[in-house]
Structure formats: structure tokens, C-alpha cells
Amino acid sequence: MRNPLSSDCRFGQMGLDPHVLSGIEKAGYDTPTPIQQLAVPPLMEGTDVLGQARTGTGKTAAFALPLLSRIDLDNNRPQVLVLTPTRELAIQVAQAFKTLGVDMKKLNVATIYGGQGYGTQLNQLKRGAHIVVGTPGRLMDHMRKKTLSLADLFCAVLDEADEMLHMGFIDDVEWILEKAPENAQKALFSATMPGPVRNISKKYLTRPKELTITPENHELGAITQRYWIVKGARKVDALSRILEAASSDGVMVFVNTRQATLDVARELEIKGFKVEALNGDIAQNARERTIARLKSGNIDILVATDVAARGLDVDRITHVVNYDMPPKTEPYIHRIGRTGRAGRQGEAILFLRPKERWMLKHIERATRQKIVKMELPTNQAINQQRIARFKDRLSAVMASGGLESISSVLVEYAEENHLSLETVAAACAKLAHGDTPFPVERTNPAKKFDTHRQGDQIRKAEGKTIKQAKPPEQSAEPDVEKGMERYRIEVGKNHGLRPGDIVGAIANEAGLASKYIGHISINPEFSLVDLPFGMPKSIFKLLRKTWLRSRRMDISKCSV
């Protein structure tokens, strides 16, 4: 059922612990969101809760605030357990508890997920953890090993229950809930309520308070939605033009497969964008570094799958591109909810194939907004944006100061060579800009390409093509290029390895831009890859321990 909301409700009226109220103030929150208004009172009372609300509605704080207020800091055993479908969401939820509980000096929050070392997790649990946030598989491991006890639990929260279902975790979730104390409070939150999720609620929740928050017009009102009909130009070329012409900060590009994250990210990187891929197969420490680089501005574009992006909350996202059409309207709403937050304007762009037009009407009904057709930006629009960005860079350098020493060098150079300062400045600008032509060449953006060319036919960088190796008896390996060294990887075609797996692992683990990864050949039991000369020992050791297709890379230098 839907509950009435109060427009003048404040956190101070909810009976929250004073230390929690202090944390709210420091976090900069003022007025509760609708889901917080509805969820905090029953959770404070110990009532079971069944909540339906999409991502970005303040759901995490809706359960974190009341549960923090009920924690007994003198009891160091787990009192609250939060189950999440992904590692990223577990990290985000745990951080929310720490942020809101910043003035609860004894508070300990443990984050438990696969991909993180057991030693770190054991230390957290031995030290004592009032709140445990984790993914089902690793939580089950600790419970079986008796390193995690739920004996003192007063509340178990199931977050993103529908995603748990999609990822096949429901059986694991039931196993954990059955081990929780029978009288422990249960709270289940989900963006949608498919049958299996509702069955979980009926089985484990006792007379729950049902709360439903549907997207209101004003929630999506800060997001401008547009679509482009996929035709003529390759999708990645169209995406490049759109990104070049956009006045954007951070961008999320959503695709439907792990391989697509690698392919699209590589193509954009070749075109000069600061971009990385995020998918479920990338090692956890690399995923965390990628998200940190997006937040800090070291990269501007993230190409991600829905699963990998669950729980991702980055303030600087101004644009969301649905490069691939999601299978249902709900994932579309999840995706575009990454932008237009906290009163900021955002833009969502949908790539729509002609045969997918029927889906457009469903999305418009779900968002209750008209999605406007767009055309590819003209060369003039792209050039204007390039010039604007260049001027912004100049302004930033001017504002930073410290130009006196270099200024005298430029004046001296101009006098020695009988040049104007304007000419010297233009040469410096060209040096900073690189070899890419400053204006876009006068080509027709709607020029038709073969839209069916795939991977190996179009994935070229600096004259090199990544390709599957032919059997040795059919083709000899090419010579190693100058400045490169050849390495052997003990994973091959028989293990399901593909070139993108190698590129993704090395690019993320070694921090090496994919354009510097040379020839790759994949044999049945091993693979070869050319990398720049002089790999640091620390990177070499890291790569030896890196896993590909459930096998250690075990990289070694070839004698060629």
C-alpha cells in the first residue's frame, strides 16, 4: 500500500539517535526522501518491511538510519546483516553506514565479498563488527567456517532482491535467512516485485509493512531523454560524435555483455577518450581502482554492464548512454537514474534499432516522459565543443599561475627565430593538443559503414590488429616490434580465452593503456602477448598472480 507523505517532515522528528542526526547533518542531508519517510518509522519499531523503490531514491539511508540508531555499541558481535548482490553495492552500503555513523566512535562495519582476501575479512570479524554487509557466497563461507555468527542479529536486510534473483542468488539468500534468529527483524527492498521475490517475503517476513515508491515526474524531471535511430554510421562512431559534441563531465555507457564493455572501451580509447570498462569478470581490486578513477576525474567514461554498475553512485555523471537496449523498462530506469541527482541536470541517450521501436513506447509510459529523437552532431558542433574545451584548459593553466619562467623562454625563442609570439603560442598549443587534427575533417557524419563488421575487422590501433592465432603449422608468429617484449600466458583457447580478456586484465591490473598492448595470439593451451619493453618487477609479480578464465595467468618472458 502507499502511505501518505509529509512535505515538512524532518529527520529530527523521526526519533533517531542524536549521534546519527549529527552524521546526517555532516553528510549534508536535510529533508528525508519519500522512501525514508515511509521506512524509518517501522524499522525503528522493529517491524518487518517490504519496500519497493528504484535505485537513487535514498533507499540505503532508509534502512541505515534506523538500524544505526538501534545498535548496541558495547556488543561487538554482528547485530545487523545486509545482503547485496554485488561487491560494488556492498562497498557502497558499508560506506553509507560509516558516513552516517561517523560520530558513533565505537562503530565497526565489516564488508564481506568474494575477490577480497580472507585475511582482511577475518581481521574485521575478529576485531568485532556491529554491522556486516556482504554478498551471499562469501557470507555463507564464513558462516560455514563459524567465523561469522548471527546469534546476536536483530535485523537482516535484503537489498536489491530482484537483482539477487536475476543473478541466481535466491537459494543462497534463503539459506542465510534460515540461519538468522527467528525473532530477528527482516527488511526486503527491491526495485521490482517478481513472483519469486514476493514468495521470499511471504516465507520470511512476518506481517511486513509494505511500502511502494513509484517514480514521480519530478524525480526524472532533471533528466533530458533523447534517442538516436541506429543507421548508417557504426554505433561506436556515432557514440564518439555524440560524446565529442556533448558538454559533459562523467559519462556512463551501458552495454549488455562483458565482451561489449571491452570492445567499446577499446574503440573509444583509440579515438582519444579517457575510458575504462567495468564488468563482472574484472578483478575486484581493479574494479575499485576504476571507480575511484571515475570519481576523481582521471577517466571520464565508464563502459559497463548492469550487474557491474549496481550500487555505483558517482556525483559527476552528467550523461548516461544506453548503447545497447536493455531487455526491460526497469533496467532502463535504473540506468538513467545514475544522472540528474541531487537537483543537477542530466541527459540520457538511447541507441534504438528500427526493430526496437516498440520498446520506446513502453519506456515513455514507464518514465511518463516523451523521449525526443536526435540527429548526430554536425562537424560544426563538434568543432565548437573542441574549441570550448581547449579554451577551458587554457583558462585553468592561466589560473594556476607560475607562467613567468616559461614565458621568458618563449619570448627568447621568438626573438632568436624572428617569429611572432602568436606563432610560437600556436606551436605550443599544437604540441599540447597532439597529432589529432584540431577541426573535424569535412566528412558526412551520416556516411554509411558496414554495420555488420565485427571485432577483429575493425579493432585496429597503431597499425596492429588483435586476432585469434592460427595453428602453428599454418602461420608463424610475427617478429616482435622494436620497443616491445613477448610474454607467454598459461591460458589459451581451450580454456575459453579471448583477446579482450587479455587486454582487460593487463589494462586494469598493470594500469597500461590498451593501445600499448601489441600483438596477441591465442593457442590451445597458452597465449602470447607483446608488451612495452622494461616491465617493472612489481607489475610482473602482480600479473603472474592475476586470474583469467578461472586459471592463473602465470605470465613469463619469452626467449624470442
List per-residue pLDDT tens for the chain, 560 residues long: 434 555 557 888 899 999 999 999 988 887 888 899 999 999 999 999 999 887 667 889 999 999 999 999 999 999 999 999 888 789 889 999 999 999 998 999 999 998 788 899 999 999 999 999 999 999 999 999 999 999 999 999 999 888 888 778 889 999 999 999 999 999 999 887 888 889 999 999 999 999 988 655 445 667 899 999 987 667 888 999 999 888 888 999 999 888 899 999 988 988 889 999 998 777 767 878 888 899 888 999 999 988 777 667 788 899 999 999 987 777 888 788 888 765 678 899 999 988 888 889 888 888 888 999 998 888 888 888 888 878 887 888 888 888 888 888 888 888 988 889 888 888 887 777 665 566 665 444 433 323 333 333 323 333 333 333 333 333 456 778 778 889 999 998 888 888 888 887 887 677 777 777 888 899 888 999 988 887 888 788 888 888 887 788 889 988 65
Predicted local distance difference test score (pLDDT) of residue 460? 36
CA distances from 496 to 113, 149, 284, 500 (A): 25, 39, 21, 11
Q: How many CB atoms lie within 10 A of CB 474?
A: 7
Predicted local distance difference test score (pLDDT) of residue 534? 79
Q: Are strands 250-254 and 275-278 parallel, antiparallel or unpaired?
A: unpaired
217 Cβ neighbours under 8 A, 6+ residues apart = 368, 369
Interatomic CA distance for residues 351 and 335, integer angstroms: 13
Q: Are strands 275-278 and 131-134 parallel, antiparallel or unpaired?
A: unpaired
317 Cβ neighbours under 8 A, 6+ residues apart = 249, 250, 251, 252, 338, 339, 341, 346
Alpha helical stretches, state H, 477-532: 499-509
Contacts 24+ apart (CB under 8 A), 498-504: 498/259, 498/522, 499/466, 499/467, 499/468, 500/259, 500/262, 500/263, 500/266, 501/262, 501/281, 501/548, 501/549, 502/527, 502/529, 502/548, 503/262, 503/266, 503/466, 504/262, 504/277, 504/279, 504/281, 504/282
- Cβ contact 492:501 at 8 Å: no
- In the structure grid, which three cell numbers stand for residue 272, read together? 582519444
199 by DSSP, 3-state: which? helix
> What is the crossing angle of helices 258-270 and 235-245, to 10°?
60
Backbone angles phi, psi at 547, to 5 degrees: -105, 140
Domains of the chain: 11-212 (3.40.50.300), 217-377 (3.40.50.300), 380-433 (no CATH), 459-557 (3.30.70.330)
DSSP assignment of 330-377 equals: HHHHHHHTTSS-TT--EEEEEEE-GGGHHHHHHHHHHHTSPPEE--PP
- The full length of the chain comes to 560
Predicted local distance difference test score (pLDDT) of residue 148? 96
SS3 content of the chain, % helix, strand, coil (to 5): 45, 15, 40
Query: Which residue, among 480, 520, 486, has the nearest Cα to 502 in the 3D structure?
Result: 520
Predicted local distance difference test score (pLDDT) of residue 366? 80
Per residue in 286-296, is it b (16+ CB within 10 Å) or e — as a string?
bbebbbebbbe
Taking the model in full, what pTM does it have? 0.54
